Amino acid sequence: MSLITLVIPCSSSDAGFFFEWFIPFASSNQFSFRYLIVLNGGFIPKCYKEIKIESVTIVSIPTPLFPGQARNVGLDYIDDGYIAFIDSRTTISSDWLKFAHDFHLNHPDASCLGSVQYIATKPWHLPLLASTYGLNQLSCLPGSIIHRKAFSRVGYFLPNVRAGEDIDWIWRAFRHQLFSDDIMSPPLKYSLDARKDFFYYLLKWFRNYSCSSGLPYISDSQRTFYAFFLFVSVTFVSYVWNSLFADWNESSPFYIPFVSRSVVSAFLIFYLVIRCIYLPIKKGMSKYDLVKTFVLVIPISIALDVVKLLAFFPSMLRRARNFF
């Protein structure tokens, strides 16, 4: 019978949180899973040495690794069976454990995509989630159950990018028809770090999109470019409309009063309705919670979108040169 090995990359900065939930979890090990922890970073805590669990293997690397590098290290230690990738800040439910155990028994050589649900730990996390990941179950690499031989077809993870390597690998996996569209594992839980402030998430947002903007699966940069180009173009046309087409003659049939103000206002209203009302509700936020936090949803959404635009700006310039 093929075994399941849970591969968990863990940086030294997350080690305290990780071992706090992992040690009691691995001690129960009700389904006889194996665990491979790739512990990496400039400082390796000593607490992991206290783990005396036969099913746990810890690979200690003193230098920091990118997520793809850490996962690739784990893959090199596994020759056969099933692999499930777990992040150090995700927690595993009994539903996922039961599902993983049954899946690998009932679906020989198959693979299943994982999912995650983000959990707010502070009041302002709720509008943050409404503006970013949402509250619904999302498909992702953590929680995925993948047969080892699948990596011979799809390849390893990109080792030299800080973010986006997981979605890049999923994109390649779907091109190889690795995952079934109708099977998704129960969600893992990801609790936002209560110690981090909003500035941390702005930097993370900028870092993630900057790192992933050049990857082939990314289409957001193209959509961002077209939306930005449309807004600038229409605003410019509205600004010169009365001068160009009506020569500022108010009796002209082409004269439009307050045209530039009206166009900018229409764009802003459209943005607020879609970005700050429709999308948060679509992502799982209740109307009651949205009303309570709407005053925060607006500035958080605007700040994140500005940061995203700045992160995509280099790739937007490259696309603009190709466009023209």
Q: What is the pLDDT of residues 229-268, one digit of tens each?
A: 567 777 777 878 878 777 787 888 888 888 888 888 888 8
Q: How far is CA 259 from CA 234, 237, 241, 254, 269, in A?
A: 11, 10, 8, 11, 15
Contact 117, 190 (CB under 8 A): yes
* 253 vs 239: CA distance, rounded Å: 17
pLDDT band for position 1 (cuts 50, 70, 90): very low
**What mean pLDDT, rounded, does the chain reach?**
84
Q: What is the pLDDT of residues 17-55, one digit of tens each?
A: 888 888 888 777 677 788 999 988 866 556 555 567 778
Inter-CA distances, 267 with 230, 257, 260, 261, 275, Å = 10, 17, 11, 10, 12
Question: What gap in Å lies between CA 29 and CA 294, rounded to an integer?
Answer: 43
pTM: 0.81
DSSP three-state, residue 37: strand
CA distances from 292 to 131, 158, 198, 270, 273 (A): 14, 41, 19, 21, 16
Say if CB 146 and CB 6 are below 8 A apart: no
| pLDDT of residue 285 exceeding 60 | yes
| Closest C-alpha among 100, 93, 127 to residue 299 | 127
Burial pattern 139-174, b for ≥16 Cβ within 10 A else e, equals bbbbbbbbbbebbeebeebbeebebbbbbbbbebbe
79 pLDDT above the threshold of 90: no
The CB density around residue 75, as the number of other CB atoms within 10 Å, is 20
**Class in CATH terms, 4-121+134-194:** alpha beta
Every domain range in the chain assigned CATH 3.90.550.10: 4-121+134-194
Structural contact between residues 17 and 89, judged by C-beta atoms closer than 8 angstroms: yes
